[in-house]
Amino acid sequence: MGAVLEPSADPARFDSGHVGVGSVMRDNDQYVMWYFGGDQTVTTTPRGTSKGFPLRPGRATSKDGISWTKTDGPVRGAYLDNGKPGDFDSSMVGWPQVFKESDGTYRMYYHTLSFAEGFMACGAISPDGLKWEKIGPVLKKGPTGNFDQGGVASRQVFKLNGRYVMFYEGNNGERFAGLGMAESPDGVNFTRVKGPEKDNCMLALSPIDSGRFDTHGIGTPWVVPNGKDYFLYYVGAEIPGYDGTQKGENNHIHRIGLAINESGDLASWKRWEG
């Protein structure tokens, strides 16, 4: 049906219910996809009943980027398990992003949802990209009044001038209300960079009456160098005909947006108005 990766036909695997992409990297002579998956389990949490949780990270490889072969990790095919009840990542190890360091080691960043502390970004390290050790949360929810007071979810981490830079979506307790930035000298201890837009974010939701596509949610940032500039791609959500009563993902229409950085200061972005 046009897909390049599908859920597993084996009900015993971690990804028999659904799959979603985290990141794709070029590693030596092949492409490596890090994805997340859930099985057919139905779970009940403080947020309701869901099918396909908890999430766990999987790996697939390809020579051409089109035909993919899943590789087997130690946890029903996954490479990391979710935590035990009460652990910080008991609900999910979702949206994994992996990159390779100059010394040949690997880092994974993912996010989880703690029902006590909200969304949080977490990390893991590996000597070979196959055996992973968790390093715990690297960025938790922001202070009251911040765009990310409800937590930190999908993110991209990359190295720039010897430091780690994270772009992330922030949840304000009701919706994903802005994109933020954080920095770290070691990839473990991240510090927020105060942004210029509403509630200290780098890029905020568009106003409800603006007629734009990103009035009800903004997230999943991905920064791409473009010569002297940077492009920031992101997902925006709107609710057509919004009257203040509609809630839930089923009411949203999602589209991909673009913001451009022309100053070299990664805290400053301007929406593309094409």
Average pLDDT per 10 consecutive residues for the chain, totaling 274 residues? 95 97 95 97 79 95 97 98 93 96 97 93 97 98 97 97 97 95 97 97 94 95 92 95 76 94 88 88
Domain 141-274: CATH superfamily is Glycosyl hydrolase domain; family 43 (2.115.10.20)
Question: At the top level of CATH, which class does the domain 1-139 belong to?
Answer: mainly beta
Task: Write down the pTM of the prediction.
Answer: 0.94
Per domain, the residue ranges of the chain are 1-139, 141-274
Contact 33, 62 (CB under 8 A): yes
Please determine whether the domains at 1-139 and 141-274 fall in the same fold group of CATH. yes
Ramachandran bin of 46, using left for φ above 0, alpha for ψ from -120 to 50, beta for the remaining angles: alpha
